[in-house]
Structure 1
Amino acid sequence: MKYIAAFCFLLLLGNLTNAQTINLNVPDPSSLKTAEDYKPLEETVIELLQSLTKDRYRINKSSRLEADNFVSKWLNGCPYLHMYLHQAVVMGLIEEKATYGKELFTTYHFGVALHMLMNQDKDYDGTEYEIQVAGINTMYESYIKLNPQQKSKTMENYGKLIRKNKLLEWVEKNVEFENTHGVKLN
Protein backbone atom coordinates (compact mmCIF):
# COMPACT_ATOMS: atom_id res chain seq x y z
CA MET A 1 0.00 0.00 0.00
CA LYS A 2 2.90 2.35 0.79
CA TYR A 3 4.30 1.87 -2.68
CA ILE A 4 1.00 2.65 -4.35
CA ALA A 5 0.61 5.83 -2.27
CA ALA A 6 4.21 6.88 -3.06
CA PHE A 7 3.67 6.17 -6.77
CA CYS A 8 0.45 8.25 -6.81
CA PHE A 9 2.21 11.09 -4.99
CA LEU A 10 5.09 11.10 -7.52
CA LEU A 11 2.64 10.96 -10.41
CA LEU A 12 0.71 13.94 -8.98
CA LEU A 13 3.94 15.85 -8.35
CA GLY A 14 5.07 15.20 -11.93
CA ASN A 15 1.77 16.51 -13.29
CA LEU A 16 2.00 19.66 -11.16
CA THR A 17 5.56 20.29 -12.36
CA ASN A 18 4.54 19.84 -16.00
CA ALA A 19 1.59 22.21 -15.50
CA GLN A 20 4.04 24.94 -14.49
CA THR A 21 6.14 24.65 -17.66
CA ILE A 22 4.73 26.01 -20.91
CA ASN A 23 5.78 24.89 -24.38
CA LEU A 24 4.95 27.22 -27.25
CA ASN A 25 4.06 26.32 -30.82
CA VAL A 26 6.47 28.42 -32.84
CA PRO A 27 6.32 28.69 -36.64
CA ASP A 28 9.39 27.95 -38.70
CA PRO A 29 11.37 31.20 -39.14
CA SER A 30 12.32 30.16 -42.67
CA SER A 31 8.65 30.74 -43.61
CA LEU A 32 9.39 34.50 -43.55
CA LYS A 33 10.75 35.05 -47.04
CA THR A 34 8.66 37.79 -48.62
CA ALA A 35 6.68 40.80 -47.37
CA GLU A 36 3.47 38.81 -47.93
CA ASP A 37 4.56 36.17 -45.39
CA TYR A 38 4.19 38.51 -42.39
CA LYS A 39 0.52 39.48 -42.19
CA PRO A 40 -0.82 35.88 -42.04
CA LEU A 41 1.41 35.23 -39.00
CA GLU A 42 0.44 38.41 -37.13
CA GLU A 43 -2.08 36.75 -34.79
CA THR A 44 0.46 34.03 -33.98
CA VAL A 45 3.05 36.71 -33.20
CA ILE A 46 0.58 38.55 -30.94
CA GLU A 47 -0.14 35.30 -29.07
CA LEU A 48 3.59 34.60 -28.73
CA LEU A 49 4.25 38.15 -27.52
CA GLN A 50 1.49 37.83 -24.93
CA SER A 51 3.02 34.61 -23.64
CA LEU A 52 6.59 35.93 -23.79
CA THR A 53 5.68 39.03 -21.80
CA LYS A 54 3.18 37.59 -19.30
CA ASP A 55 4.47 34.04 -18.67
CA ARG A 56 8.10 34.41 -19.76
CA TYR A 57 9.64 32.48 -16.86
CA ARG A 58 7.10 29.66 -16.96
CA ILE A 59 7.94 28.87 -20.58
CA ASN A 60 10.35 26.02 -21.22
CA LYS A 61 13.75 27.64 -21.86
CA SER A 62 14.33 26.09 -25.30
CA SER A 63 10.77 26.97 -26.34
CA ARG A 64 11.28 30.55 -25.06
CA LEU A 65 14.53 30.95 -27.02
CA GLU A 66 12.90 29.56 -30.16
CA ALA A 67 9.95 31.95 -29.74
CA ASP A 68 12.27 34.91 -28.98
CA ASN A 69 14.19 34.24 -32.19
CA PHE A 70 11.08 33.84 -34.33
CA VAL A 71 9.36 36.93 -32.93
CA SER A 72 12.55 39.00 -33.30
CA LYS A 73 12.90 37.90 -36.92
CA TRP A 74 9.23 38.70 -37.57
CA LEU A 75 9.53 42.15 -35.94
CA ASN A 76 12.74 43.00 -37.77
CA GLY A 77 11.33 42.03 -41.16
CA CYS A 78 7.71 43.13 -40.83
CA PRO A 79 7.10 45.67 -43.60
CA TYR A 80 4.26 47.52 -41.85
CA LEU A 81 5.46 47.70 -38.23
CA HIS A 82 8.18 50.21 -37.43
CA MET A 83 9.57 49.91 -33.91
CA TYR A 84 10.71 52.89 -31.89
CA LEU A 85 13.01 51.88 -29.05
CA HIS A 86 14.61 54.71 -27.16
CA GLN A 87 18.09 54.72 -25.70
CA ALA A 88 16.92 56.77 -22.72
CA VAL A 89 14.82 53.84 -21.55
CA VAL A 90 17.57 51.18 -21.45
CA MET A 91 20.73 53.25 -21.03
CA GLY A 92 20.71 52.82 -17.25
CA LEU A 93 20.73 49.03 -17.63
CA ILE A 94 23.65 49.25 -20.04
CA GLU A 95 25.56 51.56 -17.71
CA GLU A 96 24.91 49.23 -14.75
CA LYS A 97 26.04 46.23 -16.80
CA ALA A 98 23.10 44.34 -15.35
CA THR A 99 23.63 40.59 -15.78
CA TYR A 100 19.98 40.23 -16.78
CA GLY A 101 19.96 43.40 -18.93
CA LYS A 102 19.55 41.50 -22.21
CA GLU A 103 16.53 39.66 -20.80
CA LEU A 104 14.97 42.93 -19.66
CA PHE A 105 15.72 44.65 -22.96
CA THR A 106 13.96 41.79 -24.75
CA THR A 107 10.84 42.25 -22.61
CA TYR A 108 10.93 46.02 -23.21
CA HIS A 109 11.21 45.41 -26.98
CA PHE A 110 8.38 42.86 -26.91
CA GLY A 111 6.20 45.12 -24.73
CA VAL A 112 6.57 47.96 -27.23
CA ALA A 113 5.82 45.59 -30.13
CA LEU A 114 2.75 44.12 -28.46
CA HIS A 115 1.37 47.58 -27.69
CA MET A 116 1.91 48.69 -31.28
CA LEU A 117 0.31 45.54 -32.73
CA MET A 118 -2.69 45.84 -30.42
CA ASN A 119 -3.14 49.51 -31.40
CA GLN A 120 -2.57 49.46 -35.16
CA ASP A 121 -5.36 51.94 -35.69
CA LYS A 122 -2.93 54.63 -34.46
CA ASP A 123 -0.36 56.14 -36.78
CA TYR A 124 2.84 55.99 -34.74
CA ASP A 125 5.73 58.22 -35.71
CA GLY A 126 8.05 57.47 -32.80
CA THR A 127 7.03 60.32 -30.52
CA GLU A 128 4.16 58.53 -28.78
CA TYR A 129 5.16 58.19 -25.17
CA GLU A 130 2.53 55.55 -24.42
CA ILE A 131 4.56 53.06 -26.47
CA GLN A 132 7.59 53.55 -24.24
CA VAL A 133 5.46 53.43 -21.09
CA ALA A 134 4.01 50.08 -22.25
CA GLY A 135 7.51 48.73 -22.88
CA ILE A 136 8.83 49.93 -19.52
CA ASN A 137 5.83 48.49 -17.67
CA THR A 138 6.41 45.13 -19.38
CA MET A 139 10.11 45.28 -18.56
CA TYR A 140 9.42 46.15 -14.92
CA GLU A 141 6.89 43.30 -14.56
CA SER A 142 9.56 40.95 -15.93
CA TYR A 143 12.11 42.34 -13.46
CA ILE A 144 9.73 41.68 -10.56
CA LYS A 145 9.20 38.08 -11.75
CA LEU A 146 12.97 37.62 -12.05
CA ASN A 147 13.32 38.66 -8.40
CA PRO A 148 17.08 39.15 -8.80
CA GLN A 149 19.39 38.99 -5.81
CA GLN A 150 21.34 41.95 -7.16
CA LYS A 151 18.86 44.78 -7.58
CA SER A 152 19.03 47.15 -10.53
CA LYS A 153 19.04 50.83 -9.66
CA THR A 154 17.39 51.62 -13.00
CA MET A 155 14.60 49.09 -12.50
CA GLU A 156 14.05 50.15 -8.91
CA ASN A 157 13.71 53.76 -10.13
CA TYR A 158 11.17 52.64 -12.74
CA GLY A 159 9.24 50.92 -9.95
CA LYS A 160 9.13 54.15 -7.95
CA LEU A 161 7.96 56.11 -10.99
CA ILE A 162 5.23 53.55 -11.68
CA ARG A 163 4.02 53.55 -8.05
CA LYS A 164 3.99 57.38 -7.95
CA ASN A 165 2.22 57.47 -11.35
CA LYS A 166 5.05 59.59 -12.79
CA LEU A 167 6.40 57.21 -15.45
CA LEU A 168 4.68 59.01 -18.33
CA GLU A 169 6.15 62.33 -17.17
CA TRP A 170 9.64 60.79 -17.00
CA VAL A 171 9.26 59.26 -20.48
CA GLU A 172 8.04 62.54 -21.97
CA LYS A 173 11.00 64.44 -20.55
CA ASN A 174 13.69 61.88 -21.42
CA VAL A 175 12.46 60.77 -24.84
CA GLU A 176 11.87 64.37 -25.94
CA PHE A 177 15.38 65.32 -24.82
CA GLU A 178 16.80 62.27 -26.62
CA ASN A 179 14.88 63.13 -29.79
CA THR A 180 16.20 66.69 -29.65
CA HIS A 181 19.76 66.12 -28.48
CA GLY A 182 20.45 62.44 -29.10
CA VAL A 183 21.50 61.77 -25.51
CA LYS A 184 19.92 60.72 -22.23
CA LEU A 185 18.82 63.33 -19.73
CA ASN A 186 19.61 62.34 -16.13
Structure 2
Amino acid sequence: MKKIFTLIIAAITFGLTAKAQTFHVPENYVLKEKGDYAKYEEDVIKGIDWLQDTPWALEEQKRMETSSFLLKWMQGSPSVSIEVNASVAKMTEKNPQLIMIFMGGYTKYALQNKTAFDKNKANLAGVKAAVDKYSLETDHKNNSLLNKLVKIDKEGKLRDWIASDFYKTK
Protein backbone atom coordinates (compact mmCIF):
# COMPACT_ATOMS: atom_id res chain seq x y z
CA MET A 1 0.00 0.00 0.00
CA LYS A 2 2.81 2.37 0.89
CA LYS A 3 4.53 1.70 -2.46
CA ILE A 4 1.32 2.45 -4.38
CA PHE A 5 0.88 5.73 -2.52
CA THR A 6 4.51 6.68 -3.22
CA LEU A 7 4.07 5.84 -6.92
CA ILE A 8 0.91 7.95 -7.13
CA ILE A 9 2.65 10.93 -5.49
CA ALA A 10 5.64 10.54 -7.83
CA ALA A 11 3.36 10.38 -10.88
CA ILE A 12 1.45 13.49 -9.82
CA THR A 13 4.66 15.39 -9.11
CA PHE A 14 6.18 14.34 -12.44
CA GLY A 15 2.96 15.31 -14.24
CA LEU A 16 2.91 18.76 -12.63
CA THR A 17 6.60 19.30 -13.35
CA ALA A 18 6.23 18.21 -16.98
CA LYS A 19 3.20 20.43 -17.47
CA ALA A 20 4.91 23.34 -15.72
CA GLN A 21 7.76 23.22 -18.23
CA THR A 22 5.54 23.58 -21.31
CA PHE A 23 5.20 27.38 -21.15
CA HIS A 24 8.01 29.80 -21.92
CA VAL A 25 7.66 33.53 -21.31
CA PRO A 26 8.16 35.30 -24.65
CA GLU A 27 11.55 36.97 -24.90
CA ASN A 28 11.94 40.55 -26.09
CA TYR A 29 8.19 40.98 -26.49
CA VAL A 30 6.92 44.34 -27.68
CA LEU A 31 3.60 45.76 -26.47
CA LYS A 32 3.31 49.26 -27.89
CA GLU A 33 0.72 49.26 -30.65
CA LYS A 34 -2.73 47.70 -30.88
CA GLY A 35 -1.50 44.97 -33.23
CA ASP A 36 1.25 43.92 -30.82
CA TYR A 37 -1.27 42.51 -28.36
CA ALA A 38 -2.99 40.13 -30.78
CA LYS A 39 0.36 38.47 -31.57
CA TYR A 40 0.70 37.31 -27.98
CA GLU A 41 -2.84 36.06 -27.27
CA GLU A 42 -1.82 32.40 -27.49
CA ASP A 43 1.14 33.05 -25.16
CA VAL A 44 -1.19 34.86 -22.77
CA ILE A 45 -3.54 31.86 -22.57
CA LYS A 46 -0.61 29.46 -22.12
CA GLY A 47 0.82 31.69 -19.37
CA ILE A 48 -2.54 31.85 -17.60
CA ASP A 49 -2.83 28.06 -17.74
CA TRP A 50 0.73 27.68 -16.50
CA LEU A 51 0.08 29.90 -13.47
CA GLN A 52 -3.14 28.03 -12.73
CA ASP A 53 -1.52 24.60 -12.98
CA THR A 54 1.84 25.25 -11.32
CA PRO A 55 1.95 25.05 -7.51
CA TRP A 56 3.04 28.23 -5.74
CA ALA A 57 6.03 26.42 -4.25
CA LEU A 58 7.54 25.69 -7.68
CA GLU A 59 9.48 27.95 -10.06
CA GLU A 60 9.19 31.28 -8.25
CA GLN A 61 11.33 33.17 -10.77
CA LYS A 62 9.31 31.90 -13.73
CA ARG A 63 6.07 32.75 -11.89
CA MET A 64 7.25 36.34 -11.43
CA GLU A 65 8.31 36.63 -15.08
CA THR A 66 5.03 35.11 -16.27
CA SER A 67 2.97 37.37 -14.03
CA SER A 68 4.92 40.42 -15.22
CA PHE A 69 4.34 39.52 -18.88
CA LEU A 70 0.64 38.86 -18.30
CA LEU A 71 0.13 42.05 -16.31
CA LYS A 72 1.80 44.18 -18.99
CA TRP A 73 -0.35 42.52 -21.64
CA MET A 74 -3.57 42.91 -19.62
CA GLN A 75 -2.89 46.57 -18.77
CA GLY A 76 -2.45 47.59 -22.39
CA SER A 77 -4.71 45.16 -24.21
CA PRO A 78 -7.31 46.87 -26.39
CA SER A 79 -9.49 43.74 -26.30
CA VAL A 80 -9.63 42.98 -22.55
CA SER A 81 -10.69 45.34 -19.76
CA ILE A 82 -10.83 43.91 -16.25
CA GLU A 83 -12.62 45.56 -13.33
CA VAL A 84 -11.32 44.54 -9.93
CA ASN A 85 -14.12 45.19 -7.46
CA ALA A 86 -14.48 44.77 -3.68
CA SER A 87 -15.26 41.05 -3.97
CA VAL A 88 -12.01 40.42 -5.83
CA ALA A 89 -10.08 42.51 -3.31
CA LYS A 90 -11.62 40.55 -0.43
CA MET A 91 -10.90 37.20 -2.13
CA THR A 92 -7.25 38.06 -2.70
CA GLU A 93 -6.32 40.15 0.35
CA LYS A 94 -4.64 37.28 2.22
CA ASN A 95 -3.35 35.46 -0.86
CA PRO A 96 -2.20 38.16 -3.28
CA GLN A 97 -1.12 35.52 -5.82
CA LEU A 98 -4.82 34.99 -6.49
CA ILE A 99 -5.31 38.42 -8.07
CA MET A 100 -3.35 37.27 -11.11
CA ILE A 101 -5.30 34.02 -11.11
CA PHE A 102 -8.61 35.93 -11.10
CA MET A 103 -7.42 38.28 -13.85
CA GLY A 104 -6.11 35.30 -15.79
CA GLY A 105 -9.43 33.47 -15.66
CA TYR A 106 -11.24 36.63 -16.72
CA THR A 107 -8.78 37.30 -19.55
CA LYS A 108 -8.83 33.73 -20.83
CA TYR A 109 -12.63 33.83 -20.98
CA ALA A 110 -12.52 37.20 -22.78
CA LEU A 111 -10.05 35.94 -25.38
CA GLN A 112 -11.97 32.74 -25.99
CA ASN A 113 -15.34 34.50 -26.23
CA LYS A 114 -14.62 37.67 -28.19
CA THR A 115 -17.85 37.66 -30.20
CA ALA A 116 -20.13 36.58 -27.34
CA PHE A 117 -18.40 38.29 -24.41
CA ASP A 118 -20.45 38.47 -21.20
CA LYS A 119 -19.06 40.37 -18.21
CA ASN A 120 -20.81 38.12 -15.67
CA LYS A 121 -19.37 35.01 -17.32
CA ALA A 122 -15.92 36.59 -17.41
CA ASN A 123 -16.18 37.37 -13.68
CA LEU A 124 -17.41 33.82 -13.08
CA ALA A 125 -14.38 32.46 -14.94
CA GLY A 126 -12.08 34.64 -12.83
CA VAL A 127 -13.72 33.70 -9.54
CA LYS A 128 -13.79 30.01 -10.50
CA ALA A 129 -10.07 30.13 -11.33
CA ALA A 130 -9.33 31.74 -7.94
CA VAL A 131 -11.52 29.24 -6.09
CA ASP A 132 -9.89 26.29 -7.85
CA LYS A 133 -6.36 27.58 -7.16
CA TYR A 134 -7.19 28.33 -3.52
CA SER A 135 -8.53 24.79 -3.12
CA LEU A 136 -5.43 23.22 -4.66
CA GLU A 137 -2.78 25.21 -2.79
CA THR A 138 -2.11 23.64 0.58
CA ASP A 139 -0.13 26.63 1.86
CA HIS A 140 -2.81 29.25 1.19
CA LYS A 141 -3.80 31.63 3.97
CA ASN A 142 -7.31 31.08 5.26
CA ASN A 143 -9.90 33.38 3.67
CA SER A 144 -13.51 33.28 4.85
CA LEU A 145 -14.96 34.49 1.53
CA LEU A 146 -13.02 31.91 -0.45
CA ASN A 147 -14.00 29.18 2.01
CA LYS A 148 -17.63 30.17 1.40
CA LEU A 149 -17.09 30.23 -2.37
CA VAL A 150 -15.51 26.77 -2.34
CA LYS A 151 -18.72 25.44 -0.74
CA ILE A 152 -20.93 27.41 -3.14
CA ASP A 153 -18.93 26.06 -6.08
CA LYS A 154 -19.28 22.46 -4.83
CA GLU A 155 -23.06 23.03 -4.70
CA GLY A 156 -22.96 24.27 -8.31
CA LYS A 157 -24.21 27.72 -7.33
CA LEU A 158 -21.23 29.92 -8.13
CA ARG A 159 -23.01 31.45 -11.13
CA ASP A 160 -25.90 32.44 -8.83
CA TRP A 161 -23.47 34.06 -6.38
CA ILE A 162 -21.91 36.09 -9.21
CA ALA A 163 -25.36 37.30 -10.28
CA SER A 164 -26.53 38.16 -6.76
CA ASP A 165 -23.53 38.96 -4.54
CA PHE A 166 -20.35 39.52 -6.56
CA TYR A 167 -21.09 43.18 -7.18
CA LYS A 168 -22.40 43.78 -3.62
CA THR A 169 -19.53 42.56 -1.42
CA LYS A 170 -17.96 45.33 0.64
Answer whether TM exceeds 0.5 for this pair: yes
| Structure 1 range deviating more: 61-70 or 41-50 | 41-50
Q: Residues of 2 paired with 1:151 and 1:27: CA distance?
A: 34
1:41-61: CA deviations, max 9, x gaps? 111111211222233547522
User: SS of the counterpart of 1:73?
Assistant: helix
Relative to 1, partners in 2 of residues 1:141 and 1:176: Cα closer, same or farther, differing over 3 Å?
closer
1:131-179: CA deviations, max 9, x gaps? 11111111011112211375221111011110122211211112454xx
User: SS of the counterpart of 2:81?
Assistant: coil
TM-score (norm 2): 0.78
Establish whether residue 161 from structure 1 lines up as the match of residue 152 from structure 2.
Answer: yes
> Cα RMSD over matched residues?
2.7
Match of 1:44 in 2: 43
User: SS of the counterpart of 1:81?
Assistant: coil
Q: Residues of 1 paired with 2:51 and 2:155: CA distance?
A: 27
Tell me by how many angstroms 1:30 deviates: 5.1
Q: Is the 8 A contact 2:88 2:99 kept in 1?
A: no
Give structure 1 stretches of 5+ with no counterpart: 1-12, 178-183
1:41-92: CA deviations, max 9, x gaps? 1111112112222335475221111011001101111112222333223325
TM-score (norm 1): 0.72
Relative to 1, partners in 2 of residues 1:78 and 1:51: Cα closer, same or farther, differing over 3 Å?
same
Give structure 2 stretches of 5+ with no counterpart: 1-9
**Percent identical across equivalent pairs?**
19
Higher Rg: 1
| Segments ≥4 residues shifted beyond 6 Å | 16-19
Tell me by how many angstroms 1:31 deviates: 1.4
